[in-house]
Amino acid sequence: MPQDASKQRKKALKDAQRAVDAELTREKGDYVPPDRTECVEKEWHQSLDDSGDIRIEIRVWRHEGRMVDFVLLIQVGDWSQDGSWEQVARVDCSGGRCHIHPPESPDEHKLIHRLDTVNDVEIAYRAANSIAMTVAAMIRDRRS
């Protein structure tokens, strides 16, 4: 009988370890932001070079004083055509995760931070802003 109990404990421990491993590697979080119609939206642009040829368009949604969602759009100026801005990369929050759609493969998603609570949105924003600045600087340097 003690041997059966020992086997059961080992199996339970293995099952628990598998559950912990699955949770740690899970990309999709549980956070669902409030509807954007219930939020206050703020938008601004951050230029990344003196000539104003590359920028990050930043959109932030707040609800009850807290950041609940954001989008960072890395854009380059298309002055040869109509003077418009072309989006080359995007960082957004959806499906319980913050991720980047990189310039080399915009249909791909690269995880930045899993979102389980509203607190994770602020953490993800800081990480995403740093990544967006790095990507924008690489694009700028390639264009020089």
Q: Give residue-wise pLDDT tens across range 9-32.
A: 766 656 555 544 444 455 788 999
| Contact by Cβ (8 Å): 88, 74 | yes
Residues 90, 80 contacting (CB under 8 angstroms): no
Choose among 107, 140, 111, 113: nearest CA to 126: 113
What's the pLDDT band for 7 if we cut at 50, 70, 90?
confident
Domain assignment present for 133: yes
Q: pLDDT tens digit string along 53-108?
A: 899 999 999 999 999 999 999 999 877 777 788 888 999 998 899 999 987 776 78
Q: Which pLDDT score is estimated for 43? A: 97
- The pLDDT, as a whole number, for residue 98 is 95
Q: Does residue 4 form part of some domain?
A: no
Total number of domains in the chain? 1
Contact status, residue 113 vs residue 98, Cβ threshold 8 Å: yes
Strands 54-63 and 66-78: antiparallel
| Any domain includes 30 | no
Question: 101 lies in a domain?
Answer: yes
59: domain range?
36-143
In a domain, 24, yes or no: no
Partners of 86 in the beta sheet?
76
